[in-house]
Chain A
Amino acid sequence: MSTDAAINTGVSDDAHEHHDHKPSGFFARWVLTTNHKDIGSLYLLFSFAMFLTGGAMAMVIRAELFQPGLQLVEPNFFNQMTTVHGLIMVFGAVMPAFVGLANWMIPVMIGAPDMALPRMNNWSFWILPFAFSLMLMTLFMEGGGPNFGWTFYAPLSTKYSPDSTAVFVFAVHLMGISSIMGAINVIVTIVNLRAPGMTMMKLPLFVWTWLITAFLLIAVMPVLAGAVTMVLTDKYFGTSFFDAAGGGDPVMFQHIFWFFGHPEVYIMILPSFGIISAIIPTFSRKPLFGYASMVYATASIAGLSFLVWAHHMFTTGMPVAAELFFMYCTMLISVPTGVKVFNWVATMWRGSLTFEVPMLFAIAFIVLFTIGGFSGLMLAITPVDFQYHDTYFVVAHFHYVLVSGAIFSIMAASYYWLPKWTGYMYDDYLAKWHFWCSLISVNILFFPMHFLGLAGMPRRIPDYALQFANVNAVVSIGGFAFGLSQLIFLVVVIKCMRGKGERASAKPWEGAEGLEWEMPSPAPYHTHTTPPEIK
């Protein structure tokens, strides 16, 4: 691995005439590529494909829930849809999108010629299509695909799971390996390949948040790998980690899973914080308010995220002392999160704001993510969680933080950097349509779910009591509208990639700062072959 790095930096250092020497031929260009920009694009396109795939499954779920009763799909297939939708969105859409952004932007932002371990980078991407093909294949196997929820609680995933579980375990292992390799690459790049003068406290926040995210990944992805391995041996090799008959304990599965699972949700939001911290100052034409406090807030969120996992398990019969401990720790996390929200608002305060599409998504992020944070605080209150747990209230909570949070930030990032990636401005008219349709439909889709949950509608069930019918119909309509709105985004991206649109200048955003805007658009195939000067 490290020889990789040596060769690479060696090559780029001596490269004199290294303009746009892209390898020719599809195979050499894309399958064998070690170029961080190519790999970044591959990640982003893959994640978009997964987003649409997982989205199609969500449409099946919402179609079934449009009316009470069972009409379109079998309950077992419904369960497979909720499970695979969750797995694909978490591991196939959100995480690869962030890795793609990291690949594209981190070397460019810190003045490095490429990622530190380019060959490993190629592997960590190309594992993914393989892993997800396996995962999707299980849906067509006898007995069906995983149907135990993305959280794969034992004994649902051991004793009662379909035969395809071995394939599911293997796919999760591959995804884990891919994320770990990506994280190692990010850390080594940021630590070792910064241009001279790019001190840690000068790093753009996107780089900082990704550095911390990468450490989280390294700490918890192996724990997930351990959990799926135990599921595998319990199911196929007669161990009883989670089987009470053999002295194991199913509740222990939940502890191990959430020890991974809670830091995982922060893995899916910290890079968003970095993106928003880049976009808000640009369109407010003011430097980010409280840079250092942002760095410390991110680090403390990451640290605290290891102390709160059991807030997913309040109803498992923990002793009161433990419930209180996890309740207070969870509430404590909202302090650094609040610091961030206030810093963004303070950055906008008295700025000369303009509302280009990236900014619209960023502002929507701040408002809607905060709503998700508030419902999280409600869930953190142990006694009331007994009512909310496993209802649509939880579904509303995590979709506010993940869809109108993480996904909106990815959309914002895409609009913000598409001109840099493709050299063309996006179609502003369509992009505005995309934003407003998404904003309205996402709220029609997820806001009423709060009320469904409070009224007691359980999650992950294909049927419901009659009194929930009207609200569910509204939610489903919001869902279809949101799904269709994303097709507008598809059109916008394709138009940019095919070069339909205005040519982008090196710095299309007047207020933008950072090394990425000092190079032409589209960014040349090789950049920073000699280290840039840092002011």
Chain B
Amino acid sequence: MASSRRLITGLCATVVAMFGFGFALVPLYQVFCDITGFNGNTSNIVQAQTQGSDGVDYSRLVTVEFVTYISKGMQWQLTPQVEQMQVHPGQMIDMEFIATNLSREDQVGQAVPSVSPGQGANYFNKTECFCFNQQPLKAGDSASLPLRFFVATDLPQGIQTLTLSYTLYELPAPEQKAKGV
């Protein structure tokens, strides 16, 4: 039954490989979304681009909107300085969000960004963002969180509005995390 043994080994190897494949889908999915911007994943890599002399395309105006969501059960506020603005592609913009911890505990927040439409996500470049870091806030405290971004000049013509949304999540406090692991 040598052929039978070889067949069984092959089948078992396939089972193991497919189990691995299920997990391999996780990084594959991330890479795929980063490259294509599907699912609104914004690129953290500043792309090379076609620019005017100072890099700004003054012939075009794009509306950028800001929205925030606080995850269920979390008592924070996250408010953008302005709700929307008009920007020229290539123009570097600085703005701020105000975060307030309204709860009675010291907590750590983490903002996760997403841009829609998804096709525009890759053209929205953040050079500095509070979402790169965790954000600890003492009970009752406020902090102003910086965001610095520009819209790439090669943004497809069809896109006139980009919406940047942040969802704010609560992270387990450091000592709690140590306990959990």
Contacts and interface: CB of A to CB of B under 8 A. Distances in A.
A322 interface: yes
Interface stretch (A16-24, A220-228, A410-418): A220-228
A248 to B, nearest CB: 8
B59 interface: no
A252 B4 contact: no
B58 interface: no
Interface in B1-39: 1, 3-5, 7-8, 11-12, 14-16, 18-19, 21-23, 25-26, 29-30, 33, 36, 38-39
Interface string A184-199: 1001100110000000
Given A180-B15, A222-B16, A2 B26 contact: no
A222 B116 CA distance: 34
Contact of A218 (B18, B25, B172): B18
Contacts of B14: 218-219
A1 B12 CA distance: 12
Given A219-B18, A319-B118, A252 B25 contact: yes
B25 A256 contact: yes
Nearest to A191: B7
Nearest to B181: A238
Nearest to A217: B15
B52 interface: no
A317 B15 contact: no
A116 interface: yes
B155 interface: no
B77 interface: no
Interface residues of A, number: 43
A180 B33 CA distance: 32
Interface string A231-264: 0000001100101111101011001100100000
B119 interface: yes
A1 B4 CA distance: 10
B8 A226 contact: no
A245 B168 CA distance: 8
B104 interface: no
Residue of A226, A256, A317 most packed against chain B (CB within 10 A):
A226
B112 interface: yes
A232 B29 CA distance: 20
Given A1-B8, A222-B16, A192 B169 contact: no
Contacts of B1: 2, 5-6, 9, 192
Contacts of A116: 4
Interface residues of B, number: 39
Contacts of B46: none
A319 B18 contact: no
A440 interface: no
B134 to A, nearest CB: 10
Query: Interface residues of A: mostly helix, strand, loop or mixed?
Result: helix
B174 interface: no
Given A187-B11, A218-B11, A244-B112, A2 B19 contact: no
Nearest to A251: B39
A226 B22 contact: yes
B34 to A, nearest CB: 11
A238 B180 contact: yes
B15 A245 contact: no
Contacts of A251: 39
A187 B172 CA distance: 48
B58 to A, nearest CB: 30
Interface in B81-118: 110, 112, 116, 118
B13 to A, nearest CB: 10
B32 to A, nearest CB: 10
B118 A220 contact: no
Contacts of B110: 245-246
A49 interface: no
A245 B70 CA distance: 11
A188 B7 contact: yes
Given A222-B18, A245-B110, 19 more contacts: A2-B4, A6-B1, A184-B8, A188-B7, A192-B4, A219-B14, A222-B15, A223-B19, A223-B21, A223-B22, A227-B22, A230-B23, A245-B169, A249-B33, A252-B25, A255-B25, A255-B29, A317-B39, A317-B116
13 contacts: A183-B11, A192-B3, A218-B11, A218-B14, A220-B18, A222-B21, A230-B23, A245-B112, A247-B112, A249-B39, A255-B29, A256-B25, A319-B119
Interface of A: 1-2, 5-6, 9, 116-117, 180, 183-184, 187-188, 191-192, 218-227, 230, 237-238, 241, 243-247, 249, 251-252, 255-256, 259, 317-319, 322
